[in-house]
Structure 1
Amino acid sequence: MPIYRYICPKCGEEQTFLMRMNEENPKCPKCDVEMEKQIPRVQLKGTAGSCNVSCSSCSGCFSRS
């Protein structure tokens, strides 16, 4: 089961839930309003040398001065 992040549109309360995809959205524990599912942030790894800064800690960078 995936973990989803929800935000209450009324009070801004943020919660994470382990839920099935077809389950109904949970209600806010503070104000009892249906919470809205947030779109997950997905980070795609860039190609080698795609960074615009030179850094030694970036695993995706290969640019050396």
Structure 2
Amino acid sequence: MQIEPAKSPTLRFIGVTTAKSLIMKVFPLWAKELGLSNATIKGIDIEIHADKKIYREVVDFLKSDE
């Protein structure tokens, strides 16, 4: 799985179809209200019942992404 490192403050979340999640519409409004002008949100899609290895890769990436 290829995940691009964050270039600005980024909230990431894991789901199945993250692009369709309501938070993708709500987060920009919330960030604006809080004055987080350069904050972004990115979903990481993982299939249901995906191999444990994929989850571990994602968690390792999130742990090391600055």
More helix by share: 2
Which has the greater radius of gyration?
1
Is TM-score (shorter-chain normalized) higher than 0.5?
no
TM-score normalised by the shorter chain: which range applies? under 0.3
The normalised TM-score by structure 1 is: 0.24
